[in-house]
Amino acid sequence: MSQEPRRLLEETASPPSLQAALKAARQEGPSADQARAVSLGLGGLLDRPIDLTPKPAAASGAAAAKIGGLVAVVVALGATGAYVASRSAPAVPGTLGAGAPAAAREVANAALNRASKPEPSAAAEVAAEAPAVLPAASSPRAPTSAAAPGASSGPSELVLLERARAALANEPARALALTNEHRRRFPHGALAEEREVIAIRALEKLGRGKEAAQRGSAFEQQNPDSIHRRTVTEKK
C-alpha cells in the first residue's frame, strides 16, 4: 500500500467537465482584494523574519503531535452541511491555490505586497490579543486535557462520532451508545456539541422525546452561542 493512487484529475479517462471542475476547485482562493484585506491586519508582522527551522521535540513535541488528532476531530460534524452552503470566492482569474503555477501565485503575492501596513504597534496589539490555539482534540496518538483518563486507548473522537453519525439513520440505539462512550471518554472534547446533537437526534428516533427535549434544553443552556442551537431547537 505504498503507491499513491492516481488522482482523478490525472486520469485521462475522466470526463473533461469533471476535470475542469476539479481543476477549478484546486484553484479557488481569495481575490486580490481579499488577499489584501487579510494582509492589512498583519501589518508589520508580514515582513518580520521568521524561523522555520525544525525545533527539538522536547521543546514542542506535544503541540506538534497534537496536529493529527486535532485535525481529525474538527472535520467530523461541525461543518457538516457547510460544504455546499459555503460560497465561492469571486471567480477572479489569477487567485490561485498553492498548487498553482508560480506565475499565478505571484498575483497573490503581489496583492500582499500592495497592502498598506498599519502601525507596528497596532499589529502587535492584534497579535497579543489573538487567542491561543484551541485545545486539540484527542486521538489515540494525541491524548489531550480534553480527554478523560483512559481516553488514549480506543478510537479517536472523530472515529467515534463518525460511527455515531453513520449509525443514526438505521441504528439510533447504537448511535446513542457511541455518543455515551464519547461523553465518557471525551467529556470536554472538541466535538462535545456535535455529540449532543447526535444524541438528541438518536433519542428522538428511539421515541424518547421527553429525554430528547430535556437534553435539548440542557444543550441550549450550556451552549447559548452554539452554531448548532438552531438545529437543536428545531428538533424539539
Partner 1 sequence: MAVVARSPFDLVELSASGRGSVSSTLRDVMGEHLPFVWRTLRRHGVREPDLPDQCQEVFLVVHRKLDEFRGDSSLRTWLYGIALRVAAGYRRKAHVTRESPEAAPPDSVLEAGQEQDLERKRALDRLRVLLAEVEPARREVFVLFELEELSMSEVAKVVGCPLRTAYAWYDSVRAHVQRRWEATP
Binders of partner 1 among residues 23 to 52 (CB under 8 A) are: 24-30, 34-35, 37-39, 41-42, 45-52
Question: Chain-centre distance of CA 41, in angstroms?
Answer: 22
In angstroms, the CA 187 to CA 79 distance is 20
CB of 144 to partner 1, least distance (A): 12
Q: Which of 42, 31, 34, 190 is nearest to 125 (CA)?
A: 42
Query: Footprint of partner 1 on residues 77-116 (CB under 8 A)?
Result: 77-91, 95-100, 105, 108-109, 112-113
DSSP designation for 6: P
Least Å distance, CB 12 to partner 1, is: 13
Chain centroid to CA 204: how far? Answer: 27
Sequence-distant (6+) residues with CB within 8 A of 200 are: 212, 215, 216, 219, 232, 235
**Under rule CB under 8 A, which residues in 147-186 are in contact with partner 1?**
156, 158-159, 162, 165-166
Residue from the set 176, 178, 190, 198 that interacts with partner 1 by CB under 8 A: 190
Query: Which residue's CB is nearer to partner 1, number 2 or number 210?
Result: 2
Q: What is the smallest separation between the CB atom of 227 and partner 1, expressed in angstroms?
A: 5
In angstroms, rounded to a whole number, what is the distance separating the alpha carbons of residues 10 and 1? Answer: 19
| Residues in 194-223 that interact with partner 1 by CB under 8 A | none
Of 8 and 173, the one with the shorter C-beta distance to partner 1 is 8
Q: Which is nearer to partner 1, 218 or 227 (CB)?
A: 227
- If you ran DSSP here, which 8-state letter would residue 95 be given? -
3-state secondary structure of 87: coil
Q: Measured between alpha carbons, how far is 98 from 195 in angstroms, rounded to an integer? A: 34
State which of positions 111-150 bind partner 1 (CB under 8 A).
Answer: 112-113, 126-127, 130-134, 136, 139, 141
Considering only 147, 180, 207, 225, the residue that binds partner 1 (CB under 8 A) is 225
